[in-house]
Amino acid sequence: MVKLKRKTAASTALLIIGFTLFLLVNEPQATYAMHIMEGFLPVGWAIFWWVAFIPFFILGVRAIRKITKEAPELKLMLGLAAAFTFVLSALKIPSVTGSSSHPTGTGLGTVMFGPLPMSVLGSMVLLFQAVLLAHGGLTTLGANAFSMAVAGPAAGYAIYRLLMRSGSKQGLAIFSAAAVADLATYIVTSIQLAVAFPAVEGGIIASFMKFGGIFAITQIPLAVSEGLLTVLIWNWLQSFNTDELSILKRRMKGERV
C-alpha cells in the first residue's frame, strides 16, 4: 500500500517536472487572472450575464435559508465553506506557463451542500475582490459570478454525484469535483469572452481557442492543487467526531435537490 502510494507520488512529481520542462522549451506566455476585468464586457453582454446569474443567486439564498432552518448546526459549516473560498481565491499560485493564477475554492462547499449555496458564497468573494481589489469588476460581476459561483460548482457537483454513484472512493470524488469546478470556471470565462469578442476570422470558435487555449494549461496544475487542498481540509474535518459532521454526512448521503 505504502509502496503504491510512493509510486503515485513519484509519478505525479515526474509528471509535474515533465510538464515544466516541456514548457521550458516553449515560450512562456502571459495569461490572465480569472476574472473578466471591469468594463471589458460590452454593455449588452454585461447585462445578459447579470440577468443569467440573478435567478441562481435567489435560488442560492433560498437553499441557504432552507439549510439553516432544517439544521441550524450547519451554519458553521457554511461559514467554513465560505472561508475556504476566501482563502483559496486569495492564493495567487505560480503555474507552468510562467504566469500566476488562482484557484476558486468552490469545491468544498459544493460537495457539502450542493451547487446552489455556492452561488451566494462565491459571489460574496467576487464582490470583495471587485470592490476592494479592483480585481474583476462590478459591471462584469454577473459574468464572473456565473462562471465561478454557478457553472463551476454545477460541473463539480455533477462529477461528484457521478463518481459517488459509480462507487468510487469519496476522496477521489471530492478531488475530482474541486478540480472540475476550477477548470469549468475558466472554460466558461473563455466562452464569455469569446462570444463577446468573436475573432474577425473564424468567429467565436477561433476566439474561444485563443482565450481558452492560453489559460487551460495554466489552470491544470492549479486545478490539481485545488483538488488536493479540498481533500486535505475534508480529511482534516473527518478526524473530528462532532454532531455537525454527522448531520452533514447524513445529508450528503441522502439525495438532495
| 25 belongs to the binding site for other proteins (CB under 8 A) | no
How many residues of this chain interact with other proteins, rule: CB under 8 A? Answer: 89
Residues numbered 187-246 forming contacts with other proteins, rule: CB under 8 A = 193, 197-200, 207, 210-211, 214, 221-222, 224-225, 228-229, 231-233, 235-245
Roughly what angle, to the nearest 10 degrees, separates helices 75-90 and 203-238?
130
Under 8 Å between Cβ of 224 and 102: no
Part of the chain binding other proteins (CB under 8 A), chosen from 62-70, 78-86, 177-185, 248-256: 78-86
Q: Which is nearer to other proteins, 129 or 185 (CB)?
A: 129
Task: Tell me which of 87, 127, 209, 216 binds other proteins, using CB under 8 A.
Answer: 87
The identity of residue 182, as a single letter, is D
Task: Tell me which of 52, 59, 83, 158 binds other proteins, using CB under 8 A.
Answer: 83
Part of the chain binding other proteins (CB under 8 A), chosen from 4-12, 50-58, 109-117, 160-168: 4-12
Part of the chain binding other proteins (CB under 8 A), chosen from 9-17, 64-72, 158-166, 248-256: 9-17
Q: How far apart are CA 40 and CA 100, in angstroms?
A: 20
β-bridge mates for residue 93, sequence order: 101
Q: DSSP letters of 163-222?
A: HHHTT--HHHHHHHHHHHHHHHHHHHHHHHHHHHS-BTTTHHHHHHHHHHHHHHHHHHHH
For residue 73, the 8-state DSSP code is G
| 169 belongs to the binding site for other proteins (CB under 8 A) | no
| 52 belongs to the binding site for other proteins (CB under 8 A) | no
| 110 belongs to the binding site for other proteins (CB under 8 A) | no
| 12 belongs to the binding site for other proteins (CB under 8 A) | yes
- Look-up: residue for cell 515526474? 14
Q: Tell me the chain's radius of gyration from C-alpha atoms.
A: 19
CB of 176 to other proteins, least distance (A): 15
